[in-house]
A and B are shown apart, each in its own frame.
Chain A
Amino acid sequence: MTSRLKRKLNDLGVDTQSSKATENFCLDVRDEKGRRRLHGAFTGGFSAGYFNTVGSKEGWTPSTFVSSRAERAKQQAARPEDFMDEEDLAELRESRQLVDENEEMTFADTEAELRKRQGLEADQQEDSITAALADALAPPPTESAGARILMKMGWRPGQGVGPRLTYEQRKAQDRTLGFASNEDDAEHEAKKHMYARRDTPVLTAARKDNAHGLGYTPGMSLNESLGVGGMKGPSGPRLAFGFGLGALNEAEEDDLDIYDGSMGPRGHSRVAYDALEDDDRIDMGSSSRPGNQGRAGPRASSSTSTQTFADGTPVLKGFVLFPEPVVLQNDQFPFPEIPKGWKPNPHRVWDVDKNKENIDVAMREKGAQPPKTRAEWKESLLSADQRGSLLGETPLPSQPRSVFDYLSQKDRERLQNVRGNIALPADQKVSMPPPPPPSEPQPPYIPGQIHIPHIHPSVAKAALHGFQPFTADPVKQSRYTAFLHYASQTSADSSPSSIGIGPMPDQTNDEFNKELSDYAKSATVFKPLSGAMAGRFTSSKILEMGPNIVEGLHTPDVRTTPEPDENGQIGKEGEEKRDEDPRRGAVRMGMYGPLTREVKPWQPARLLCKRFGVKEPEIEMTDADADARKAGEVDKSGTTTSPLAPLKTITEGLENKPELAETSSSVTRNLANVGLGEDETQGRDILTYERPSMDVFKAIFASDDEDSDEEDKENKHMDEEDHIPYFSSSMPDTAEMSQTEPTTTQLPATAKVTEPAATTEKVDLATFKPTFVPRADREARKDKSSDKKKDKKKSSKPALVSFDDEEGGLQVSIAASRRRKHKDEKDGERKKKKRKEKEKTAEEEDEGMWEEAPPPEVVKKMDMGGVTATPPVLDEQMPVDDAEKPAGPQRGRARAVDFM
């Protein structure tokens, strides 16, 4: 038990010696310092830390110290607080009390000043002594240390800081600061004493909390602010006339001119501190010299007749008011004399000059065109190039090469196609495009003449394919297309006769012009979408012949009956309608059949045929079809929406153009140009590759011990690779073709003929497909033609794994055994197969790839029984039905097949 514990226990009145005390003492646990360790659940529980220490059970953990060259500056010295426990820290906190904790730092001088200011407002005659008395009577404010120090040095509240002054000095200061001096006192007595300085007033600038401009007084009229009628004396706004006083010139009472040393109307104004040393000191500010010479001069006059501006503002010290008021420049001119009886008539002015902007007034009365829009106006302007070409300037020789030079020929062509399908001659240099033909300057608009709006040919061409806005009105539609045709011709002259349509009989030229401009507008609006957006929309192909809606009030008019124009397109429309009729009529009468059926060639994708297990059909498609199909397969960006039927006939020439361009550029595929991305000229210069001679290969790759036999083989191999489409016997293909193809199709008759064995070498061009046959087999076949059977059996296996080249001309037949699975071949085919089987010629066996499976039992049975007269479908369908489900419907029932 430490001595400290003992002492604490003694303080508590516990006798450590007595045995009685031990019982009490043992009830609560205390540490060696005598503090209670356990406080009980209701009195606080354990105290913090480990046994009231700041450590832990493991003891004091020393702080680790790691120093390195990089961060040696982080060494921190241990502070005494680090070693203190909570008691010591609490003691430390207690000892750290600020001295002036409870003192308020108030500025006594300011308070006194404020009070004085308020007091002086009421009583101007109150002097400093009264103020000092009032200060003394008022409860003394709490003072700051500085104030206390100053007071010890003799300063009192209400006085200025600094050494005391003589009477003269004080009076000078009074004058400087603008205090009222009471000169009635006996001066001689007063001169005996030294006086404290005047207090330095604190500058308080009023907050500017309005949004007016500087120097503006709200509520002032214009004349007042200009000083014209401001003869109101001192009560007027204190704005300087002619001179602004800036921020200090607000018409509030505490914003008087602080630099004005003269006696204001109130006799006292607050003054900035002015350090006066003696009589002949240097003036700070603009105060005049006090005393001797100060009395003379303007100062003297100001003391007697206080110079103020017209609005009562005192004039700045040192400034003299100009005797005559400044006359403001009045910029107003007197109105001219208006003759009597005059009435305004603007048309007199407007009609004087026809070139003025009001010229359209007259036009509009006659129903002329509205003024141009901005876009039209811009279009009508010439570009710099156009102007240059008009003037005959030669284009600059050092024109930078354009991007087009770096494009391949193919891309250039595509770009050209995109740009309005204008086929550029291939030899034309694209880098220096000829300056565009100067868009013939818009002829000056003459009312009453036909004026054909200009639209770009590409736009017109596109609009021909796009949405037709006037389908409801056939006449208008025909005129619209005629206009577009006219506009799509690049070399069209702008004479009105070439447009093909003229104004209608009851149409004035102006109305016709309006119509044409409408067409031009709708052509630009309804041209089809280009690029990626086009693929997202499917345009409706159903002709909408809605009711002809005439805007405005209904007036019975001759125009509602369509009249044929000179092109006679009405007749075409009618024809088209009659063309449409039969199909509809057939439907109405229930005469479905040839009238309602349309059969087109359709090329399924190769992979699709593979997945469906169907041999790819060979259809002779026209080039256009093939192109369309290609486009459909690759991407659907093209807008191949066919326009209306009558337009088709008109636009045939237009539509054919791109197709022709495409077909002309498409070159037959072969191995040489298969990877060139349809650009046969691509890389022609860099891909001129000559195969090095065999010696080079041998020198590099062949090892020394290779004998000449190997070389021979290699040579042969190379040769064969050069002729890859090896014309092997194509008999399997023809046979297979004849079986898979429906017998009634348009397949050439030669394909269906099963060739005899002798003509194995004869190639049927209609069905021929080059087939890979391993070289070894080929050689073997060449050598032993007598042993064909065995070889073919061997070769059948590699043929099964032959591959299918998607792009090129290599078509390798799919294994024949797969074909056999399709059971729903036509019956005729099956029979043909039968026949073939019966023949069992050596040639059949020869076609190693064709492994004929034994025919299904049903078929065999039928064949034996000679049931050749059964309907072609039944013998395929019925037995299956019966075999699968004996409990099915009765045989005698009607079925769908009964119609066949």
Chain B
Amino acid sequence: MAPSRGPNALARTLHTTLANHKGPVHVARYAKGTSKYVLTGGQDRTVRLWNPSSGAEIKVYAAHGYEVLSISVSHDNSKFTSSGGDRSVFLWDVTTGATIRRISGHMGKINAVEFNEDASVIASGSYDATVRLWDIRSQNRQPVQVLDEARDAIQTLYVGHGIIMAGSVDEYVRTYDLRMGQLREDYIGYPVTSVVPSQDEHTYLVTTLDSHVRLMDATTGKMLNDFTGHSIESYRCRSCFDHGEASVICGDENGQVWAWDLLDATPLPPNPPPRVHDKVITWVEHHPTEDGEMITASADGTVKVWRHPAS
């Protein structure tokens, strides 16, 4: 392979600001497919559907009784699931805005919720240190399986094809491999706030509360790279790959959006990055298909859409 010519510069021009949330925004997810829409959930107990290019709020989904901490969109964009402080997973119909199901069973607030590939199973990770897997095709109210290996709150989940990854405050990233019947526990050493695998699921990014983002090898558990410079010490922040997985993006508690070269782990210019949010950036997500767009959600109540300057 040719030597790296370096990643593209990060999209740092503010396109729109989605500012209808009252209170912190905990999560912002792109829809699936062409990802024309963005779903955000916040402390104000609502889930909002936005058009990021126009900045218009399309719909408000209000049924939660507590804050919304996690959202996952199904593969066909017809449903999404959300969870939060009310200890149950809500399954929504996107068009009608009504909840299809409310799945209860967790003992604590649910920090992470995720669909599997064909939206037949919902995985939910909770403060009660369990991951529960719910079959939403059947009417069974009991979880299909409870993964209770974690010893502290589950903070993040990833459900891929045949694997389930859970990052927990007990400083472990656990990979449940359904094919091999294996549980691989990777000790990170610091409370894990987000686990984002690359597209091929061979590597994954771990954000921990020691202000590090680590790129780990999923097969061996080795650390491939370590990205520092930002500060994440007490909030759940999410880091992600940019498009093409050439750089790593992470928002930090000062409201800065950091970007590193994936290979040499040097922060991309500008270094240090400008402060774009007033408070901690809770979620960073790059557009899954387009190169020059990403969203950041922050505790200051805004979600910002970033693009390359129109030239």
Looking at the complex, which one of A541, A611, A894 makes contact with B137 (CB distance below 8 Å)?
A611
Tell me the smallest distance from the CB of B89 to a CB of chain A, in Å: 16
Task: Give the chain B neighbours of A274 by CB distance below 8 A.
Answer: none
Tell me the smallest distance from the CB of B282 to a CB of chain A, in Å: 24
Tell me the smallest distance from the CB of A696 to a CB of chain B, in Å: 41
Tell me the smallest distance from the CB of A613 to a CB of chain B, in Å: 8
* Pair A593/B2 contact, Cβ less than 8 Å: no
* Pair B133/A892 contact, Cβ less than 8 Å: no
Interface stretch (choices A139-147, A440-448, A615-623, A856-864): A615-623
**Chain A residues with a Cβ closer than 8 Å to the other chain, count:** 63
A607 (CB) vs chain B CBs: closest residue: B144
* Pair A597/B182 contact, Cβ less than 8 Å: no
Looking at the complex, which one of B184, B186, B262, B289 makes contact with A592 (CB distance below 8 Å)?
B186
A590 (CB) vs chain B CBs: closest residue: B223
Most B CB contacts (10 A, CB to CB) among A588, A740, A899 go to A899
A584 to B137, CA, bound (A): 43
* Pair B187/A583 contact, Cβ less than 8 Å: yes
Query: Does chain A have a CB within 8 A of B120?
Result: yes
B116 (CB) vs chain A CBs: closest residue: A612
Interface stretch (choices A400-408, A429-437, A754-762, A882-890): A882-890
* Pair B182/A605 contact, Cβ less than 8 Å: no
Query: Does chain A have a CB within 8 A of B309?
Result: no
* Pair A893/B217 contact, Cβ less than 8 Å: no
What per-residue 1/0 map shows which CB atoms of A76-99 lie under 8 Å from chain B? Answer: 000000000000000000000000
* Pair A877/B146 contact, Cβ less than 8 Å: no
Task: Give the chain A neighbours of B246 by CB distance below 8 A.
Answer: 889, 893-895
Query: Does chain B have a CB within 8 A of A702?
Result: no
* Pair B181/A601 contact, Cβ less than 8 Å: yes
Task: Give the chain B neighbours of A740 by CB distance below 8 A.
Answer: 179
**Chain B residues with a Cβ closer than 8 Å to the other chain, count:** 67
Chain A at the B interface: SS class: loop
Interface of chain B residues 255 through 299 with chain A (CB within 8 A): 261-263, 289, 291
Task: Give the chain A neighbours of B199 by CB distance below 8 A.
Answer: 877, 896
* Pair B181/A890 contact, Cβ less than 8 Å: no
Tell me the smallest distance from the CB of A299 to a CB of chain B, in Å: 95
Looking at the complex, which one of B129, B133, B203, B215 makes contact with A608 (CB distance below 8 Å)?
B133
* Pair B176/A602 contact, Cβ less than 8 Å: yes
Known: A612-B121, A742-B179. A632 touches B146 (CB 8 A): yes
* Pair A611/B121 contact, Cβ less than 8 Å: yes
B199 (CB) vs chain A CBs: closest residue: A877
A618 to B263, CA, bound (A): 38
A897 to B2, CA, bound (A): 13
Tell me the smallest distance from the CB of B158 to a CB of chain A, in Å: 13
Looking at the complex, which one of A594, A612, A877, A899 makes contact with B224 (CB distance below 8 Å)?
A899
A590 to B225, CA, bound (A): 10
B179 (CB) vs chain A CBs: closest residue: A614
B241 (CB) vs chain A CBs: closest residue: A896
* Pair B148/A632 contact, Cβ less than 8 Å: yes
* Pair B179/A741 contact, Cβ less than 8 Å: yes
* Pair A888/B162 contact, Cβ less than 8 Å: no
A896 to B243, CA, bound (A): 11
Query: Does chain A have a CB within 8 A of B245?
Result: yes
B8 (CB) vs chain A CBs: closest residue: A889
Query: Does chain A have a CB within 8 A of B185?
Result: yes
Task: Give the chain A neighbours of B291 by CB distance below 8 A.
Answer: 887-889
Looking at the complex, which one of A588, A604, A613 makes contact with B181 (CB distance below 8 Å)?
A604
* Pair A596/B244 contact, Cβ less than 8 Å: no
Looking at the complex, which one of B3, B6, B145, B187 makes contact with A597 (CB distance below 8 Å)?
B187
Query: Does chain B have a CB within 8 A of A100?
Result: no
Query: Does chain B have a CB within 8 A of A340?
Result: no
Query: Does chain B have a CB within 8 A of A839?
Result: no
Task: Give the chain B neighbours of A894 by CB distance below 8 A.
Answer: 4, 6-7, 246, 261-263
Looking at the complex, which one of A587, A603, A897 makes contact with B198 (CB distance below 8 Å)?
A897
Known: A583-B187, A873-B202, A889-B246. A604 touches B176 (CB 8 A): yes
A899 to B200, CA, bound (A): 12
What per-residue 1/0 map shows which CB atoms of B131-147 lie under 8 Å from chain A? Answer: 00101010000001110
Tell me the smallest distance from the CB of B295 to a CB of chain A, in Å: 20
* Pair A587/B179 contact, Cβ less than 8 Å: no
* Pair B170/A542 contact, Cβ less than 8 Å: yes
Interface of chain B residues 169 through 196 with chain A (CB within 8 A): 170, 176-190
Known: A597-B220, A611-B116, A897-B198. A617 touches B1 (CB 8 A): no
* Pair A896/B202 contact, Cβ less than 8 Å: yes
* Pair B1/A892 contact, Cβ less than 8 Å: yes
Tell me the smallest distance from the CB of A766 to a CB of chain B, in Å: 14
* Pair A601/B223 contact, Cβ less than 8 Å: no
B226 (CB) vs chain A CBs: closest residue: A590
A876 to B161, CA, bound (A): 15
Most B CB contacts (10 A, CB to CB) among A540, A611, A633, A745 go to A611
Interface of chain B residues 1 through 25 with chain A (CB within 8 A): 1-8
Known: A540-B151, A598-B187. A892 touches B200 (CB 8 A): no
* Pair B215/A896 contact, Cβ less than 8 Å: yes
Question: Which residues of B are interface residues toward A (Cβ below 8 A)?
Answer: 1-8, 107, 116-118, 120-121, 128-129, 133, 135, 137, 144-146, 148, 151, 161-162, 170, 176-190, 198-200, 202-203, 214-217, 220-224, 226, 241, 243-246, 261-263, 289, 291
Q: List 20 A-B contacts (CB under 8 A).
A: A538-B151, A541-B151, A587-B190, A592-B216, A593-B220, A599-B184, A602-B176, A602-B182, A602-B183, A611-B137, A613-B161, A742-B180, A889-B7, A891-B1, A892-B5, A894-B4, A895-B245, A896-B245, A899-B202, A899-B224
Given contacts A604-B178, A877-B200, 15 further A-B contacts (CB under 8 A): A587-B190, A588-B189, A592-B221, A596-B188, A604-B176, A604-B181, A612-B116, A632-B146, A741-B179, A822-B161, A889-B243, A893-B246, A894-B263, A896-B203, A897-B202
Question: Which residues of A are interface residues toward B (Cβ below 8 A)?
Answer: 536, 538, 540-542, 583-584, 587-588, 590-594, 596-605, 607-609, 611-619, 632-633, 636, 740-742, 745, 822, 824, 873, 876-877, 885, 887-900
What 4 A-B pairs have minimum CB-CB distances, sorted nearest first?
A617-B181, A587-B189, A597-B221, A892-B2
